[in-house]
Amino acid sequence: MNRPHDVMIPKRLLVNRSYELEGHVYAGEPLEASVEEDVIRALEVAAEFEGLAPASVDLYWVDDAVTQQLNQAFRGIDRATDVLSFPLTEPGEPPVIDPDTGCRLLGEIVISVDRLRAQASEYGHSVAREAAFLAVHGLLHLLGYDHEEADAEAEMFGKQEAILQRAGITREGG
């Protein structure tokens, strides 16, 4: 199959990042480039860990007001949250493939920069570690993982920690 030369075809995961979602532009201080690099590395490790190849995800950095609106609209919970995931397909449905890149389109991850900074401070680790944790958490939700039951929560959180360790993003160092 011939592909246009300007279309990037990732080895594992293409991450489209934005500070704008549906007309709402994040007005706070953007994350440092090194934080975003750590997030991309963690997501690439997660994709490898889960055997994705190739895939694409949209990652939005927003504020608490946006996650509160989305949380209310889609979950009926009227409060801000740290991360929301919106899968493109439901479990059991066939994957959606981008015809230009061959990537499996996974969906959207929306992360509140306000929440991630507050939680990093509260939990005593770096902004990079919290951002990577939330991004991986969101990606696992896109892949169908959940934490409603104790055993599912243990599996999901165990995977998150293993992925972050493999990516070199620890509570102490990253």
DSSP 95: P
| pLDDT tens profile 88-126 | 998 889 999 999 888 999 999 999 999 999 999 999 999
Helix axes 33-49, 150-166, angle to 10 degrees: 120
| pLDDT tens profile 10-62 | 467 889 999 998 888 898 999 999 999 999 999 999 999 999 878 999 999 99
Give all domains of the chain, ordered by start, each with its CATH number: 13-166 (3.40.390.30)
Point out the least confidently predicted range of 2-6, 7-11, 97-101: 2-6
Percentages helix, strand, coil for the chain, rounded to the nearest 5? Answer: 40, 20, 40
In this prediction, residue 11 carries a pLDDT of: 62
Predicted TM-score (pTM) of the model is 0.89
C-alpha to C-alpha distance for 49 and 68, rounded to whole angstroms: 31
Q: Is residue 172 classed exposed, middle or buried when 0-12, 13-18 and 19+ CB atoms within 10 A define those classes?
A: exposed
Question: What are the angstrom distances between the C-alpha of 128 and each of 72, 73, 92, 131?
Answer: 27, 29, 33, 5
C-alpha to C-alpha distance for 169 and 45, rounded to whole angstroms: 11
